[in-house]
Amino acid sequence: MYSDKVMDHFTNPRNVGEISDANGIGEVGNARCGDIMKLWIKVEDDVITDIKFKTFGCGAAIATSSVITEMAIGKTIDEAEQITNKQVAEELHGLPSVKMHCSNLAAEALVAAIEDYRKNVAANSAS
Amino acid sequence: MNEIYMDHAATTPVRQEVVEAMLPFFGSEYGNPSSVYGWGRRSRQALDQARDKVSELIGAEASEIIFTSGGSEGANLAIKGVAWAYQTKGKHIVSSAVEHHAVLDSVLWLKKQGFEVTIVPVDEEGMVSPAEVEKALRPDTILVSIMHANNEVGTIQPIKEIAEVVRGHGAFFHTDAVQTAGVLDINVAELGVDLLSLSAHKLYGPKGVGALYVRKGVRLDPLIHGGAQERRRRAGTENVAGIVGLAKALELAHLDRDEENARLVKLRDRLLEGLQQIPHTKINGSLVHRLPNNVNVCFQYIEGESMLLNLDLRGIAASSGSACTSGSLDPSHVLLAMGLTHEIAHGSLRLTLGRDNNEADIDFVLQEIPVIVERLREMSPLYQR
Ligand SMILES: Cc1ncc(COP(=O)(O)O)c(C=O)c1O
Ligand code: FES
């Protein structure tokens, strides 16, 4: 039921793990199925220079996590923030319709990590 | 790649002898059993013989067997049929929280039609207690439906005891024996049930055929109206080949049932023991009252579908009660009814063994699973080493 690209990212997920000196962390849960995704980003001069993920979820959730790390790396945070769940699904050559919601998880986790980064920056400049 | 099938609770391969018994009825013996000429008479005879055999194997009379399209139809016919026929007597139905959806959704549909429904809970092993059933019974209870053994966790229910309680209250008792037919004794007099449904494809017979036992004297409104087949309780030209296959499969299952069960129990326990070596693993269901072929475990911190995909990449066919595999995005209602959290139920894996499995299969699975679990845990945000 999954495309070859989904299976490729599922079997060889890119950028799994954590970043010890991350300056943005996003964690989101999927209200519909109970899955959880956590994303670490390292931002330098507004550019995402490193990104890692950990996911507790289905094959599609793991594949979308993996592919969004590839899509986001090297982008500015403003650009990365614009990545939609539809683009994530397209990048994976489509997802079964019952699995479309899994791609929300990836897009939301990235936005959450960027928001966390912005909050951290604001807190640092305030002090 | 070597493929290992460990999902026999989902379906089973059709045994060669069964295929051979069915073949003539796709070929030269194509007559309609209702026809008067030779072709018809020969089909009728095959149908009668199959009915005799099935009824004999479950301790019933031939006239008490209705052939159906499988377990789902059997449950629907038993539940809706009795409810409609007896609704003037009462409109209360009792069932359990761990039933197959064929039963549960039939009962819930009747609720929408104005019937009242009590769903009895189960304990942490998935067991229904006769005392809970007794508590649920009311003067207007017309039907109780409790499965013989659960398809997900393999827990075998105390059907005899429950049947006694139900009989004492004058309600009818249906049991879904889809997972036990051909495996356990389903003699209807011994069990004390009024209705019992079974399905051929779970016992090495063909898909799309089953039987419903209805004790003499129990009335039933049909689901399918039309011709006079099956004593007017199920219209439609009979699936002769399928019915012949069902009878043959049930007969074969009974021949070496005890030896096969003993063999499966040994394999099952070897598998259970091996899986228990993996940290943070929980075995689901009863260890004592358990189907000989059922293994059901939860691996904490991982999700079932990603487990299944990894197993499939290794050639192993299994199933899971995870929300992500269900299509409905809710985890198994069985595991939740047993008190498991959403999160734990997510990591459930069911392996159900069968005639084609051997010790080497178990060892291969035991070699692969710990690697997959470890790999997925490494990827899980919930897991701290
Ligand atoms: C316990 C139980 N009841 C009913 C059914 C439905 O049977 P069938 O697939 O023949 O409709 C199944 C199998 O899916 C089952 O495991
Ligand atoms: S994340 Fe649960 S179904 Fe995909």
In the predicted structure, residue A124 carries a pLDDT above the cut 90: no
pLDDT value at residue A102? 86
Q: In sequence order, which ranges of B184-315 are alpha helices (DSSP H)?
A: 188-191, 240-255, 257-276, 304-313
Average pLDDT rounded to a whole number, residues B23-30: 97
pLDDT value at residue B327? 67
In the predicted structure, residue A126 carries a pLDDT above the cut 90: no
Give the separation between CA A83 and CA A86, rounded to whole angstroms: 8
Cβ within 8 Å, pair A34-B381: no
Nearest CA in chain A to B313: A11
SS3 (DSSP) at B372: helix
The CB of B210 under 6 Å from ligand 1? The reply is yes
Long-range own/partner contacts, residues A101-104 (CB < 8 A, 24 or more apart): A101/A30, A101/A32, A101/A33, A101/B329, A102/A30, A102/A33, A102/A35, A102/A57, A102/A58, A102/A60, A102/A61, A102/A64, A102/B324, A103/A60, A103/A64, A104/A30
Cβ within 8 Å, pair B306-A36: no
The CB of A104 under 6 Å from ligand 2? The reply is no
How many Cα atoms are found within 13 Å in the side-chain-facing hemisphere of B327? 1
Measured in angstroms, the CA of A73 and the nearest CA of chain B are apart by: 19
Q: Burial code of A86-111, b = ≥16 C-beta within 10 A, e = fewer?
A: eebbebbeebeebbebbbbbbbbbbb
Give the percent of chain B with pLDDT over 90.
94
In the predicted structure, residue B92 carries a pLDDT above the cut 80: yes
**B197 strand-pairing partners:** B176, B212
Nearest CB to A56 within list B313, B329, B380: B380
Q: Read off the pLDDT band of A82 (50, 70, 90).
A: very high
Nearest CB to B343 within list A2, A34, A61: A34
Please give the distance of CA B330 from its chain centroid, rounded to a whole number.
21
In the predicted structure, residue B165 carries a pLDDT above the cut 80: yes
pLDDT value at residue B371? 97
Residues B175-226: tens digit of each pLDDT = 999 999 999 999 999 999 999 999 999 999 999 999 999 999 999 999 999 9
Q: Which residue's CA is minimally distant from atom 8 of ligand 1?
A: B71
Give the separation between CA B194 and CA B167, rounded to whole angstroms: 9
Q: Which residue's CA is minimally distant from atom 4 of ligand 1?
A: B71
Q: Which residue has the tokens 């890692």?
A: A52
Give the separation between CA A39 and CA A111, rounded to whole angstroms: 10
- Cα angle value B204/B208/B209 (rounded, 5°): 70
Contact B44, B268 (CB under 8 A): no
In the predicted structure, residue B27 carries a pLDDT above the cut 70: yes
Q: With the C-alpha atoms ordered B115, B131, B284, B258, is the resulting torsion angle positive or negative?
A: negative
Tokens of B91: 């409109």
Tokens of B201: 């494809």
pLDDT value at residue A31? 61
Show Cβ contacts of residue B185 under 8 Å, excluding neighbours closer than 6 positions: none
Residues B244-284: tens digit of each pLDDT = 999 999 999 999 999 999 999 999 999 999 999 999 999 99
pLDDT value at residue B356? 97
Å from CA of A77 to ligand 1 middle: 51
Q: If phi over 0 gives left and psi between -120 and 50 gives alpha, with beta otherwise, what is residue B170? A: left
**3-state percent breakdown (helix, strand, coil) of chain B, nearest 5:** 45, 15, 40
Q: Read off the pLDDT band of B125 (50, 70, 90).
A: very high
In the predicted structure, residue B59 carries a pLDDT above the cut 80: yes
Å from CA of B324 to ligand 2 middle: 5
Can you give the length of chain A in residues?
Answer: 127
pLDDT value at residue B157? 98
Annotated catalytic residue A102? yes
Å from CA of A103 to ligand 2 middle: 9
Give the separation between CA A66 and CA A73, rounded to whole angstroms: 11
Average pLDDT rounded to a whole number, residues B303-319: 95
Identify residues of A whose CB sits under 8 angstroms from chain B CBs. 2, 7, 10-11, 13, 16, 27, 32-38, 54-62, 98, 101-102
**Ligand closest to the CA atom of residue B331:** 2
Give the separation between CA B149 and CA B147, rounded to whole angstroms: 6
Cβ within 8 Å, pair A34-B323: yes
Catalytic residue among B235, B324, B336, B366: B324
In the predicted structure, residue B326 carries a pLDDT above the cut 70: no
Contacts of B329 in chain A (CB under 8 A): 32-33, 98, 101
In the predicted structure, residue B22 carries a pLDDT above the cut 90: yes
Residue scoring higher pLDDT (B344 or B242): B242
Residues B36-51: tens digit of each pLDDT = 999 999 999 999 999 9
Residues A10-67: tens digit of each pLDDT = 999 999 999 999 999 999 987 667 789 999 999 999 999 999 999 999 999 999 999 9
Q: Read off the pLDDT band of A1 (50, 70, 90).
A: confident
Give the separation between CA B131 and CA B377, rounded to whole angstroms: 41
A82 DSSP assignment: T
Residue scoring higher pLDDT (B361 or B385): B361
Cβ within 8 Å, pair A57-B342: no
Å from CA of B372 to ligand 1 middle: 30
pLDDT value at residue A127? 67
Atom of ligand 2 nearest to the CA of A105: 1
Q: State the DSSP string of B33-90.
A: TT-SSHHHHHHHHHHHHHHHHHHHHTT--GGGEEEESSHHHHHHHHHHHHHHHTTTT-
ipTM of the prediction = 0.92
Closest CA to B212 of B81, B315, B84, B100: B81
Average pLDDT rounded to a whole number, residues B99-118: 98
Tokens of B371: 């690697």
Strands B65-68, B210-214: pairing is antiparallel
How high is the mean pLDDT of chain B? 96
Measured in angstroms, the CA of A62 and the nearest CA of chain B are apart by: 8
Å from CA of A106 to ligand 2 middle: 11
The CB of A63 under 6 Å from ligand 2? The reply is no
How high is the mean pLDDT of chain A? 93
This prediction's pTM: 0.95
In the predicted structure, residue B323 carries a pLDDT above the cut 90: no
In the predicted structure, residue B61 carries a pLDDT above the cut 90: yes
Give the percent of chain B with pLDDT over 70.
99
Q: At what angle do helices B257-276 and B240-255 cross, to 10 degrees?
A: 80
Cβ within 8 Å, pair A56-B342: no
Q: With the C-alpha atoms ordered B51, B55, B57, B58, is the resulting torsion angle positive or negative?
A: positive
pLDDT value at residue B381? 92
In the predicted structure, residue B100 carries a pLDDT above the cut 90: yes
